Amino acid sequence: MIGILASVIDGILIGAVYGLAAMGLTLIWGVMNVINLAHGAIVVVGMFVLYMLVSALGLPAYGAVPVMIVLGFVIGIGLYWIGVHRMIGRPELMSLLSTFALNMVLIGLGTAWWTTSPYNVQVNMPSVSWRGYTFTGTHITAAALAVVIAGLLYLLLYHTRIGKAVRAVATNREAAELCGIPTTQVLAMAFGLGVALAGVSGTLIATMFPFTVLSGEAYQLKSFVVTVLGGLGNPAGALMGGIALGLIEGLATPFMPVSWIPIVEFGLFVFCLIAFPRGIFSFTKA
């Protein structure tokens, strides 16, 4: 019984990081109705930024977190102008294809550079033991940082003028433009924020697990599951969706072979899309 509890707690810790990744995806969807299929590639960028900073420059692992937030923001604004700006307001097919093209380019460059062999960053954090069960220090720290970053995003969105502008553009872009909000800049900034969130969650994931250039796809799919659980375009729901996914993974692990867990996840994903297209945790009516 306690074994299951320990596995559930660990699932929740990891789930908070999934939630952070999904917040990036859902923020971009909410503001500009674009599903960012380069999401997984950006998670991988975050992983390799950690690897480069720690192994090449010798920075402490968690020092990479603020670096990645800034870098991710800059990369995001760059990607917005390269691939997303011309897609705003056009059929969804176009922005899906365009962000997927960005994904292919990023993954292709990464494969050429780092190949597809696994990488690992050794992070030393003291673990917490309780009744013979150990909770890994890196998991606890990553979850705590994820919650802190999510809180900062909340403050930014709901307690600053910039956040108000982002929310205004998300609600009605034309009306926001009429009120004098430079909507194009706001869109670019929101995309930058979304990418920064995805990237930093990649950095946090890399402190916990080994990774390859191709790991992004799995985390991208997890982010989809989470956003669908939490409701697309709903950042608070994303965090809860992430924790729910972690909980499900934690609950399922003791009872079934590991190779069956993706089936549960994708089954849940398709089921939720059909049954609850607005998300389980979305309380507002669209």
Site for another protein, rule CB under 8 A: 29, 33, 35, 82-83, 86-87, 91-94, 96-98, 100-105, 107-109, 111-112, 217, 221, 224-225, 228, 232, 257, 259-260, 262-263, 266-267, 269-270, 273-274, 277
In the complex, least distance from residue 180 CB atom to another protein, rounded to whole angstroms: 29
The least distance separating another protein from the CB of residue 156, rounded to whole angstroms, comes to 26
- Select 56 or 275, whichever has its Cβ closest to another protein: 275
Nearest CA-CA partner of 127 in 241, 10, 15: 10
Pick between residue 8 and residue 102 the one whose CB is nearest to another protein: 102
For 208-272, the DSSP string reads HS-B-GGGHHHHHHHHHHHHHHH-TT-HHHHHHHHHHHHHHHHHHTTTS-GGGHHHHHHHHHHHH
Identify which of residues 98 and 138 has a Cβ nearer to another protein in the complex.
98
CB of 124 to another protein, least distance (A): 34
CB of 46 to another protein, least distance (A): 20
When the beta carbons of 177 and 217 are compared against another protein, the nearer one is: 217
Q: How far apart are the first and last CA of the chain?
A: 41
In terms of CB distance, is 86 or 156 closer to another protein? 86
Total length of the chain: 286
How far apart, in whole angstroms, are the C-alpha atoms of residue 236 and residue 14? 17
Q: In whole angstroms, how close is the CB of 238 to another protein at the nearest point?
A: 15
The helix (run of H) or strand (run of E) holding residue 16 is: helix 2-32
Q: Are 71 and 46 in contact (CB under 8 A)?
A: no
